[in-house]
A and B are shown apart, each in its own frame.
Chain A
Amino acid sequence: MTSQPYRLAEGGVIDRTRPLTFSFNGRRLTGYSGDTLASALLANGVHLVGRSFKYHRPRGILTAGTEEPNALVQLEAGNRSIPNLRATRIELYNGLSAASVNCWPGVRFDAGALIDAVHRLVPAGFYYKTFMWPQGGWHVYERLIRRMAGMGRAPEGADPDRYERTNAHCDVLIIGAGPAGLAAAVTAGRSGASVILADERGQPGGSLPDVASDGDVTGTSWLGDTIAELQSMTNVRMFTRTTVTGYFDHNFLIAVERVTDHLGPGAPAHLPRQRLWRIRTSRVVLATGALERPLVFANNDRPGVMLAGSARAYVNRFAVLPGRRAVVVTNNDSAYEAALDLHRNGVEIAAVADLRAVPVGPAAEAAAAAGLNILRGHAVVDTNGRRRVQAVHVAGIGLDGSLTGPVRALHCDLVLMSGGWSPAVHLFSQSGGKLRYDEMLGAFLPDGSRQHVLCAGAMNGVAETASCIVQGQDAGKGDVPAASEPTASTVDAHWPIPARNRSGEVRQFVDFQNDVTAADISLAVSEGYQSVEHLKRYTTLGMGTDQGKTGNVPGIAILAGSLGVPLPAVGTTTFRPPYDPVTFGAIAGRDVGPLADPVRQTPMHAWHAETGAVFEDVGQWKRPFYYPLASETKHDAVARECMAVRRAAGIMDATTLGKIVLSGPDAVRFLNRVYTNAWGGLEVGRCRYGLMLGEDGMVLDDGVTARLAEDRFLMTTTTGNASRVLAWLEEWLQTEWPELDVYLTSVTEQFATVALAGPKARAILTGLTSDIDVSAEAFPFMSWRGGHVAGFPARVFRISYSGELAYEISVPARHGLELWAVLLRSGPDYAVTPFGTEAMHVLRAEKGYLMVGQETDGTVTPIDLGMQWILSTKKDFIGRRSLARSAMLDPLRKRLVGLRTEDPELVLPEGAQILPTAPSGPPETMIGHVTSSYWSGALRRSIALALVKGGRDRESATVHVPLEGRTARAEICDPRFYDPEGLRLHG
């Protein structure tokens, strides 16, 4: 076990009484409770953490927080593994195991780093130009590039952890529990408002512990007192480890709470790993702080180069020295505070290179007083060191931004850089907020939103803790913070810092995660990419998992410089959710596995499942597709089921068909408007087939409707369209025809329905009912009778989709399974065979019956289907006018036909294209496609339905169907293949 050579003996908010062990790349190390993985690695002197995305350059820890672009690790292994987590955000727990990503065989020697040597071959947009030959070669290159790029590995098994989704409502949502957010929360809380205070860290306090080793920069017990008061308020909820990632309309926000991530695999089983909060609030106070920016100089990406404020956080919060001898480079005053804190704790400050000719600010003065070596008007222009920075080169920088004087080398193991601070305006911008550019701060600040949102503290450009607290108090009251004059130190922006040589070898990184350099941006501009949005997509600037939190403003500045326009003229790219990566687990919550989508089962489902039915999903329903016996194939089972229906009798579970009761005195008028045919003459006790069109004339749905009483009808719909049809009818009733007195009630699940079909159906039914006369004369085709079947109250409809003598028997749902069993028991005499949906499809196709969704696709009219007979000419109905549009009358529209293949054994694939002549090479003339295609046992040959231009006008013509490797010939025919006269069904 290694000691922690870079850990200070005292200070920080870590708990030295609780040491933790962990492993990194297989090496066992120790840290303390309160550490992040990053701080524990630094305490052990580990700076080399990973390899960069594109060039595989060694990378270290740049920041101490959410904005980290470099220090990405794969956390844990197996099913719980998560790739690309930021070491700066992982709270250390005992036994933690992490590894570097994007390197092979290891992070110290990575074969992929060869890319860096040939980086000139892979400039910005390289995948658009470098790999473009030979034609088609991209498909080969892409696979190789994908293997080289990308970062961690996705876990291979199912996620064993549990996630939750929860709603919350409040008056005030305060985001960020730094000084401003805490002040806002306590002020709002005292007013009695219901308050949620959300913060991504493990403890409230924001950056206070980063900037003062006692955790309270106010020098009083303000922080502790405020937290205690908030905890005593029952109207205030404090969410820690909770990152608000999305700000949507009407003050709806999404937050992710990492409930047990910080406990690791040993977390209590009753807690979810993460919880997604959906929060609706009247007001929002954003106190999201500010993020420090890097400076853009040559080789600014070496491990050991760190943001100044982050180094300060490591010293103060974690009592870790990130190095022994540091060079500071800054364009503003804030880095001096870091320099002083490190200096006080024993880090040698070799020099502070200040880009400003005249360093101003209280910290700069304090640093001078402390005797630090301040180099005015100087910059770091390059660095050395392979896996850790070893030296920097500094040079003077003139007022015009060019280098002056000699370049000097300074040895160091740490570089602190500060390019000023960018207010974390991400959520504000997502709210619809506008930004304004502040020249003094070199930063975009919030400037008014259309939503009820106030900003307070550092995100307004305010630096002093006391001012942040005052702003928070104002915002907590609901007032726009008064002292919104920015007080953060002014910056003297130099983006990029000139290099000492101007060759193409200069690597000044802007976006560390995506390896975008200043030269890449200039190249993109010279190639014509002038819009910041285009630049982003071409160079991938800001497109990593960190979304460019550190590098975006420097990137925009370099773009503006290349274009020769002021920075605000370039603007920012759009800030979109999520602010921070969200796991799929948190998004899915408990909607996984069988709960991902509701499953609907009929009352007979248990029997189907026990019998070994193969199920088909129709909408959310599970329908038996076919019932294979012992070793039967699908083909055999379907053929057997079809023959049973044609020769004896079969039963099918038809429960899933949609059933809607229409009641009211205007029911007939309504039916006349929504169906194409007329309904007035339908007597009670009779049924009629109806076709429903959209107002555009296209077939929407079909089904049989029965007249139950003078003012009551029972409509059936297709299984998949049941809710759509109900919504469609409701819409017309409520919005267009409110004067019609009709009520619609869905009764799909109230009844179980069994279709009994086959020549022996009547004989079977006769044996099961004593109060229904099932004789052909008393119970004709297209009528229904009420009574009892097998002792259950039942409605029996004599309708047929198979073309056989058939009945559909509906009983209250609770009797469905028993009815099914009774019908099967009539088997020994009549050989009742259960059949599934595939047999039904075959049987109806043999009859040339339409199946909605198979023969129709939203572009097919009743005329196309040869169903003019169902279009009433005596009334208006939805879609009628559209059928008279000139284009609908085009004789070359695709129309329904039958197809007989020349080879009777060949079952054409559904969707196959149809050509009028043998294929002669592209482009072919395509005149239609196959919509349904089956083996017909009854006809001992294949059959197909198709939509073909000209339709039946081409009857007897031979058409050609190109298949893989060959072309089939088929003859166009009448789609009614079986019993075209309908003798069987009327029997």
Chain B
Amino acid sequence: MLLISCPWCGQRDESEFTCGGEAHILRPADPDALSDPEWADYLFMRTNPKGRHRERWCHTHGCGRWFNMERDTATHDIVSVYRMGEAPPDDRDGNSS
């Protein structure tokens, strides 16, 4: 069970959280401008990497806040945790991955 550091509450057990899937997928500003395949891509298609993955998590049974987390899907190492709207720490340092 992961030990997750909620940016608002600190370290809590994974059982307090829900995972909301891949992060940084923006809802298209004008859905009508998208073709069916493009809309389907937004709706359904997600990356499924072995390794580092940026995900949205919600501290459901805690403060109720959503936040972002970069996690290694193979080792379950949590690389970073950052608030909604913040750039991933790697990007801030200019080491975009």
A residues within 8 Å of B by Cβ? 248-252, 280, 432, 450, 695-696, 727, 730-731, 734-736, 738, 876, 880-882, 884-886
Contact = CB atoms under 8 A, between A and B. Distances in A.
Nearest to A744: B64
B2 A885 contact: no
Given A734-B66, A735-B84, A250 B43 contact: no
Given A248-B1, A249-B1, A735-B56, A882 B84 contact: no
A450 B76 CA distance: 9
B57 to A, nearest CB: 11
A738 B84 contact: yes
15 contacts: A248-B1, A249-B1, A251-B3, A252-B1, A280-B13, A730-B64, A730-B66, A731-B58, A734-B66, A735-B20, A735-B56, A735-B84, A738-B84, A880-B31, A882-B43
Closest 3 pairs (CB-CB, A-B): A881-B31, A250-B3, A252-B1
Interface string B3-32: 100000000010000001000001100011
B82 to A, nearest CB: 13
B39 A450 contact: no
A810 B60 CA distance: 29
Contacts of B34: 881
B2 to A, nearest CB: 5
B31 A885 contact: no
A249 B76 contact: yes
A731 B56 CA distance: 10
A734 B1 contact: no
Contact of A734 (B32, B60, B84): B84
B76 A250 contact: yes
Contacts of B43: 695-696, 882
Interface of B: 1-3, 13, 20, 26-27, 31-32, 34, 36, 39-40, 43, 56, 58, 60, 64-66, 75-77, 84-85
A929 B29 CA distance: 38
Contact of B85 (A249, A450, A738, A881): A738
B2 A249 contact: yes
A734 B31 contact: no
A885 B58 CA distance: 31
A900 to B, nearest CB: 38
Contact of A885 (B36, B76, B85): B36
A880 B31 CA distance: 9
A250 B84 contact: no
A251 B40 CA distance: 39
B56 to A, nearest CB: 6
A280 B39 contact: no
Given A249-B2, A730-B66, A885-B36, 17 more contacts: A249-B76, A250-B76, A252-B3, A280-B3, A450-B75, A695-B27, A727-B58, A727-B60, A730-B64, A731-B58, A731-B66, A735-B66, A736-B26, A738-B84, A876-B31, A884-B32, A885-B39
A885 B34 CA distance: 11
Nearest to B36: A885
A394 to B, nearest CB: 51
Contacts of B60: 727
A695 B27 CA distance: 10
Contacts of A738: 84-85
Most buried by B among A249, A280, A727, A881: A881
Contacts of A881: 31-32, 34, 39
A432 B75 contact: yes
Contacts of B3: 250-252, 280
B37 to A, nearest CB: 10
A695 B32 CA distance: 14
Given A432-B75, A734-B66, A735-B56, A250 B1 contact: yes
A106 B77 CA distance: 54
B20 A734 contact: no
A248 B56 CA distance: 22
Contacts of B36: 885-886
B61 to A, nearest CB: 11
A734 B18 CA distance: 15
A250 B2 contact: yes
A695 B39 CA distance: 10
Contacts of A695: 27, 43
B70 to A, nearest CB: 15
Which of B3, B20, B27 is the most central at the interface, judged by chain A CB atoms within 10 Å of its CB?
A: B27
A110 B60 CA distance: 56
A680 B38 CA distance: 31
Nearest to B27: A736
Contacts of B2: 249-250
A880 B34 CA distance: 13
A601 to B, nearest CB: 22
B49 to A, nearest CB: 17
Contacts of B64: 730
Contacts of A432: 75
Contacts of B26: 736
B15 to A, nearest CB: 10
A428 to B, nearest CB: 16
A596 B50 CA distance: 37
A696 B43 CA distance: 7
Contacts of A880: 31
Contacts of A248: 1
Nearest to A877: B31
Nearest to A878: B27
A450 B72 CA distance: 12
Contact of B39 (A251, A727, A734, A882): A882
A736 B26 CA distance: 7
A450 B2 CA distance: 14
